[in-house]
Amino acid sequence: MSTITEAQYLFAKQRIEDLLLVDDSNPNDPNVIELGLMSDIIIEYEKEHYPIDKPTVAELISNALEEQGMTQKQLASILNISPSRVNDFVIGRSEPNLRQAGHICRTLHISPASMMQV
């Protein structure tokens, strides 16, 4: 459990606004050091109070299709499966088998570790 209070978090956020204008070329500058400390406070507080869940397999596939500008039908053709099966993957009704997941990762440039939810 974090020992960072909301007041400390809000103070750190305000200080970062001021410190972002600092020239960070000198790592020994007190302002650069303070910027690092304030950043650490914010990161610790946000990890506890605003955690970010890993995307689901369905979200990974859906987002990658959009990023690649590819349709579900095009992916189905590449995978040699039906478009309805790809739609099942995209809406989370089912997940691809290991062979399909590997092919999807290569086709859509998805990290295999992400697909395996590691």
**What mean pLDDT do residues 14-20 have?**
89
- The model carries a pTM of 0.61
Is 24 part of any domain?
yes
| pLDDT at position 1 | 59
Is 61 part of a structural domain of the chain? yes
What is the number of domains present in the chain? 2
Place 19 in a pLDDT band, splitting at 50, 70 and 90. confident
Within 8 A by CB and 6+ apart from 22, the residues are 29, 31, 32, 35
Asked whether the predicted pLDDT for residue 114 surpasses 60, the reply is yes
Q: Are residues 100 and 66 in the same domain?
A: yes
Per the structure, the complete domain to which residue 70 belongs is given by 57-115
Q: What is the pLDDT of residues 40-86, one digit of tens each?
A: 999 999 989 988 888 999 999 999 999 999 999 999 999 999 999 99
| 105: CATH | 1.10.260.40
Residues 33 and 17 in one domain: yes
* Two structure tokens written together for 10: 């809000």
